[in-house]
Structure 1
Amino acid sequence: MTIAHPPIPGTALWVHAHLRGSSLNGRLFREGVRALSEHRDVTTSDLYAQGFDPVLGPRDFAAHDRADGAVQDGAGEPGNIAGLLGEAYARGRLPADVVREQAKLAAAELLVLQFPLWWYGPPAILKGWFDRVLTAGFAHGDLDPASGAPRRYGDGGLAGRRALVVVTAGEDARSIGPRGISGDLESLLFPLTHGVLWYVGIETLDLHVVHDADALGAEGVEHEVQRLRERLRTVDTEPALPFRRLRDGDYRGTRALRADLLPGRTDLGIHLRPPS
């Protein structure tokens, strides 16, 4: 199976996951889209506003036409969930809401994911968007023709794209920093930046974090709006996080980093290439 979704240059998809339009996140969403639209063609997915259903269910699985013309939902079919979703994608049987989201993502050169940090991760609605939209056959699951290995971690169906993660946190930079009681935010979001985005080939930029989001006054909100606008003006020239690619041999013969690379270290930073 070959996956090819070349993005359209100059396009962006902004995925927003907050339920209140009057919130700080709502303000940042509107101002950010306006700023990014000054130099890109921006499409949005405001997940709460559009009523996106995050629950992966039988309707998402491969459907089969029966001899009597009826359609089964595939929920009782053997095989793992990824395989069933891949079959549904191949047959053109994915639900209409998923197909719309996949079309927006396939066209986008830049992906912006914006959300508040809830229980040290994204809201459930965004996790469900990943579950339902990043299906096998669309975002992953094809093989490298040269090696026969799966294309993932820096390669795959959505390679050629970059992502900016915009996250608001109620804590300050110390409590959610490298020595903070809440853990380092970059480590907390490693499952997103590396395990989701990098897995399907999307390069990730440095996080854009709004700290103390619950305590900002009017002046603080305006400062954060302007800071986001400034970030978006330079986003095209920023370097991406230098995660190691699976295909480059650093994990040769295993899914663990080779023993001769950074021996003795077990932190998540080992998956970043050192400066040359």
Structure 2
Amino acid sequence: MNVLLVYAHPEPRSLNGALKDFAAARLEASGHAVQVSDLYAMNWKASLDASDSVVPPIGKRFDPSLDSKHAFENGLQSEDIAREQQKLLWADAVILQFPLWWFSMPAILKGWVERVYAYGFAYGVGEHSDARWGDRYGEGTLAGKRAMLIVTTGGWESHYGPRGINGPIDDILFPIHHGILYYPGFDVLPPFVIYQTGKMDQARYTATCETLGQRLDTLWTVPPIPFHPQNGGAYEIPALTLRDDIAPGKAGFAAHLG
């Protein structure tokens, strides 16, 4: 299988750097082909702007969506964007690895998403009608591929528990899992989260690698997070709200789990 590892940490000698190297080596040892997009090493441009197309804006002003669509459809995207899109199409599985900074991914990784997920590539695809609202949330360009997060955080696991002060980790990661990954079609796997990274000694690092290795070995067999597909009948279209008989009494992120 083909695996794309998109990695976002500025220090190669960090815990994240070591885990990235371990993950790539483990996957390759298992016979998989691996590509790594090391965003800091690539000096990835994080900001989406008019320079993402090789031609000027098509209108009187830059329109992020419409200019993205025009560039994608006409082969006018900047080379770095097109290259990352080809990696996504090549991959059978994608791993996003990053430290949890201010309750989300680092800005450079968010910028990778904003620029690579062009209109017509990751969104704005499919039929919009009374029966469907585009190919998204379980369908789309990246359907049939798997995705997983490897996340490190300095907080304790209890800080991210159901009553923890930081909020449940599943809620914090929901916008990434459901929005960034499930939206364009990925089957989203449960995340691999490493807590208390400041307390990582050699024994704990060895145990962490062993557990991570086991997760990587099951990348194609572990059941994905059971989100409701948008066009599978659970949502009223065009309101895109869950039917009353789906997850009755529930609201918020948890209601969208099957």
Q: 1:74 aligns with which of 53, 57, 65?
A: 57
Provide the rounded CA distance (Å) in 2 between the counterparts of 1:102 and 1:261. 35
Q: 1:216 aligns with which of 196, 200, 208?
A: 200
Alignment of 1:135-154 (within 5 A): 135-144=118-127, 147=131, 149-154=133-138
Q: 1:52 aligns with which of 31, 40, 44?
A: 44
Give CA deviations for 1:217-249 in whole Å, capped at 9, x if unaligned: 122122212221121112211111110001111
Q: 2:21 aligns with which of 15, 22, 30?
A: 30
Give CA deviations for 1:122-173 in whole Å, capped at 9, x if unaligned: 0000000000001111122222499563111100111111001000011111
The one-letter amino acid paired with 1:103 is: Q
Contact 1:62–1:84 under 8 Å retained in 2 = no
**1:259: how far off?**
2.2
Provide the rounded CA distance (Å) in 1 between the counterparts of 2:115 and 2:8. 15
The one-letter amino acid paired with 1:262 is: A
Provide the rounded CA distance (Å) in 2 between the counterparts of 1:26 and 1:124. 18
Contact 1:157–1:201 under 8 Å retained in 2 = yes
Structure 1: state its 5+ residue gaps. Answer: 1-9, 64-72
Contact 2:153–2:195 under 8 Å retained in 1 = yes
**1:264: how far off?**
2.7
The one-letter amino acid paired with 1:42 is: V
**1:83: how far off?**
2.1
What TM-score results when the alignment is normalised by the length of structure 1? 0.88
Contact 1:86–1:137 under 8 Å retained in 2 = yes
Counterpart in the other structure of 1:239: 223
Counterpart in the other structure of 2:71: 88
Provide the rounded CA distance (Å) in 1 between the counterparts of 2:187 and 2:91. 13
Structure 2: state its 5+ residue gaps. Answer: none
Question: The residue matched to 1:237 in structure 2 has which SS?
Answer: coil
Q: 1:203 aligns with which of 187, 202, 210?
A: 187
Q: 1:110 aligns with which of 71, 85, 93?
A: 93
What TM-score results when the alignment is normalised by the length of structure 2? 0.94
Counterpart in the other structure of 1:257: 242
**1:102: how far off?**
0.7
